[in-house]
Structure 1
Amino acid sequence: MSAQIGATSAAVGSVVRGIFERKLGAFAGLALAAVTLGGCAVPLAPLAGADPADPGAKVAGVGYRSTTAPYTSLRPTTPSGWKEQNQRVTPSPKSGHEH
């Protein structure tokens, strides 16, 4: 019985491998043809601007803006008294008289 199962499994495996190898070979052939002929294809539409392969093509200038330019350090400082802090933020008294 086990010899019959082994023979059947070998026969089925052989058929499956044959189909797989043929399909794999056909797929590999199609892939090779597509890659080979893909480089010969003509562009379908003209370029919309200057040719990017042209080293003399005019392009916009390059600029630089620092992302940290307005940075001010906020490291901890020595604490000052609350009176001095209040004096710094208190509005200055108006000069003159208002009626």
Structure 2
Amino acid sequence: MLTLLGAKFAAASAARGRFGFIWPIVATSALALSGCMPATTAPLASADPADPAAKVAPARYRSTIAPYSSLRPATPAPWRERNDGATPPAKSNQ
């Protein structure tokens, strides 16, 4: 497979001339060397995390259960009256 690829490149470079085969080498080396460049430049980079004088947002505490209020009644309601109020009325024709 690699031999076939090399033969294709050799045939293409012979058809283009002597310097036609150089541009893939230049493009490949430029792409490889771009990995050595820093990701951002100094004006675009944020503050150094190792700098103790860097400005940071203040840490704030917000409770996750602050709006909670207990809905449990202090004394339980009498269950017999609540149960009788929830049952359907008895049918008179049975």
TM superposition score category, shorter chain reference: 0.3 to 0.5
Question: Normalising by the residue count of structure 2, what TM-score does the alignment of the two structures yield?
Answer: 0.33
Question: Normalising by the residue count of structure 1, what TM-score does the alignment of the two structures yield?
Answer: 0.32
**More contact order relative to length (CA 8 Å, sep ≥ 6):** 2
